[in-house]
Structure 1
């Protein structure tokens, strides 16, 4: 049951979109109960909306990319076809997703891709769509947003979805995002916007040297800075990269992805076991348990506002999957009097201020803040506890994009542990351009 008008609008859009679209690569909504009394353990009932949705037992595409790395182009082509053909059907029904990202792309038991989470979708009537009416609401996840949205312009829903899909496909193939944000202050985006596409690819191919010329050509058509210059979905589906002969069968895809799934499950099980052990150690010592009341919620981190000023965006909330990452704190970290925890909290506060975090708050053993635009708008919380003889910082992503979180975490780690930034120096002809040197890619 919705607790606010905004949540009610999201529920309505999601139900309308998913009952309208019928496509093998869109998650199927098979049944809706708008008025349901859910029995609680105390004998009372809670008003709920029941959605019966297709099971996607393969999990999120994000997990495969996070734990097993970039896909071979043969696999990426298959999922690109799935994604684009589903978007063709969505757009033919005047439905624009507006929050495409790996977390919202699921896989079924046969590892077929399914678009999910239409809570931020826009649904136009046929008249508006036929007359080229533009959308105005800024929503989605910033690192996947088209440049026209980030510059607060009215935008075409098809072109915006095409851009976001291009970012997803880029990450699928290379393992890295094409840029941090599609703004002129970002070196990577600025290279494209100023026509220096060769420099853009030269820099990216240091970490992804095997990306084919055909794939680069395909991605360039999707990541055109001007919305009107982007290829249509039909044109993309006819591109030579997608239509090169491939001998990969459904069985081949299943076997390759099933092998990756085992690695994903093993990595996640390992993380859960480590979390349990750390929590048990903290409880045994009577220390704060950093894992208490931490939940994994599937809904993405899209932020939505009718106000075109980013300064008026609502605060990031705990609407994304919480990510736990440990840092072992050197004794010398932090300055000032008091015990190790208090001293380290003070040091972390100074560290957040050094990184220009906004809305920094401090409470006992926790420091929380929202990263600056340079790192991406991600909310980070650092909690401290003792593990055996070591002081440990639990760094949590409370809201925002996972790739932005990893950048923020790396900066925190560098300052806490005194590590030098592990970033390749740009080639001589890449440095000194407007917008600065390339950012640290993950």
Structure 2
């Protein structure tokens, strides 16, 4: 790990030193972190207890986390441990560095059948194993499919992606969630659904995208999109083989009762080509930390504290590994859109202007666009006054020093609609053209060179 400038501060929780934010959601955020005892890099999901209590899902979270700790599978992101402070829950997870599977598609356009099959087999392995442990994902989508350094598929957020859901007396799930293009018709219908059947539908959409390079169901408005999903109204490109067409049709069956099962998928001729069942060992796992996370005793010995030194009035200096981790592959927030366009939840630019000037220029550009600006040293929160498709657009901004007199500015959507964030950034960047030195596509490479990192 590279070092920080002597004046800057670090926040630590237990034996972990927290770094930059990797992603944000309705219950909290995910941060990059380092185990100070071993030097290993991890990702820490931070949930706010208050929000969890408000949704009355403590028992469910404890159950989900307990199950996730027991899951040790080569194609599922590993959960190491759980900690809690008085106000937050910290879920420590494996940090993978190979980027998102769909970033590879964005570069290639689409995969050949052999390559698509290899990833689909790993996806089915992960999903099947978790289902056998009673854990359903409920929100399988592109940003949850990551690759490790060896190119092995890892499904993230299994069992944690749709926390507010409950199984009712009928044994079915009832909360609609997920990215609309990937959601099974019975989930949209809101008459209850089986998690396993819904997960498999999402896997079918993912398989189609791997092979086609575009979505099977794509309409600009939700009503039209849902109509297509209900009818499974989609067209195969000409390059799909007849055997894979048959399999996709069986998976994308709008009737969950006649839809193929995962056991049947594994026996399918197309699927079985070159198939190797995963090999792994089950280890002894302690669940003591899970029971302790909602311990309400104030003097509980199990509670950890966030330790933070006073932040000086200079931008945080980003170290070498964190800088590499800003490359597009490690962002946990890409959305897969039409014609392979990547509409991201975050973006960045570099500037040689002084940090104070950058802050002033962003405020000058955002205020006339109808944004309320709150500043905290070299971080800003921009809140849109208008209510958009998913409430108010909120943008978190932070300035990092990546080399002497070279700053990286990160803008991250922390609330609202991703497409609206994309539009906002386009408009904002017009007002910032005088201070922007490089756009995001060039940022990492230039910043790497400025820090003495030579890209491989």
The TM-score, its normalising length taken from structure 1, stands at 0.52
| Residue 230 (structure 1) shift | 1.4
Separation (CA, whole Å) in 1 of partners of 2:184 and 2:220: 7
- Asked if structure 2 preserves the Cα contact closer than 8 Å seen for 1:395 and 1:409, the reply is no
* 2:145 alignment counterpart: 105
Q: CA RMSD in A?
A: 4.8
* 1:275 alignment counterpart: 348
Question: Secondary structure at the residue paired with 1:229?
Answer: coil
1:225 paired residue among 254, 274, 286: 254
- Asked if structure 2 preserves the Cα contact closer than 8 Å seen for 1:381 and 1:395, the reply is no
Q: Please say if 1:27 is aligned against 2:77.
A: yes
- Structure number having the greater strand percentage: 2
- Asked if structure 2 preserves the Cα contact closer than 8 Å seen for 1:95 and 1:121, the reply is no
* 1:54 alignment counterpart: 94
1:71 paired residue among 98, 106, 111: 111
Matching of residues 297-316 of structure 1 within 5 Å: none
* 1:159 alignment counterpart: 197
Q: Please say if 1:137 is aligned against 2:137.
A: no
- Asked if structure 2 preserves the Cα contact closer than 8 Å seen for 1:143 and 1:182, the reply is no
Deviations 1:104-144 (A, max 9, x none): 2222222211222121468999xx99x98212233333332
Separation (CA, whole Å) in 1 of partners of 2:111 and 2:188: 29
Equivalent residue pairs, number? 297
* 1:15 alignment counterpart: 65
* 1:119 alignment counterpart: 160
Gaps of at least 5 residues in structure 1 are 38-45, 248-262, 293-339, 350-360, 384-393, 418-442
| Residue 161 (structure 1) shift | 0.9
Separation (CA, whole Å) in 2 of partners of 1:411 and 1:217: 42
* 2:312 alignment counterpart: none
Question: Secondary structure at the residue paired with 1:230?
Answer: coil
Q: 1:379 to 1:56 in 2, by over 3 A?
A: farther
Separation (CA, whole Å) in 2 of partners of 1:143 and 1:152: 16
* 1:326 alignment counterpart: none
- Asked if structure 2 preserves the Cα contact closer than 8 Å seen for 1:94 and 1:124, the reply is no
* 1:80 alignment counterpart: 120
Separation (CA, whole Å) in 2 of partners of 1:368 and 1:121: 28
Q: 1:194 to 1:162 in 2, by over 3 A?
A: closer
* 1:95 alignment counterpart: 135
* 1:214 alignment counterpart: 243
Q: 1:136 to 1:67 in 2, by over 3 A?
A: same
| Residue 379 (structure 1) shift | 6.7
Q: 1:64 to 1:398 in 2, by over 3 A?
A: farther
Q: 1:398 to 1:212 in 2, by over 3 A?
A: farther
Question: Secondary structure at the residue paired with 2:223?
Answer: coil
* 1:3 alignment counterpart: 49
Matching of residues 234-313 of structure 1 within 5 Å: 234-244=263-273, 275-278=348-351, 280-281=352-353, 283=355, 288=360, 290=362
Deviations 1:64-87 (A, max 9, x none): 345554333222111111111222
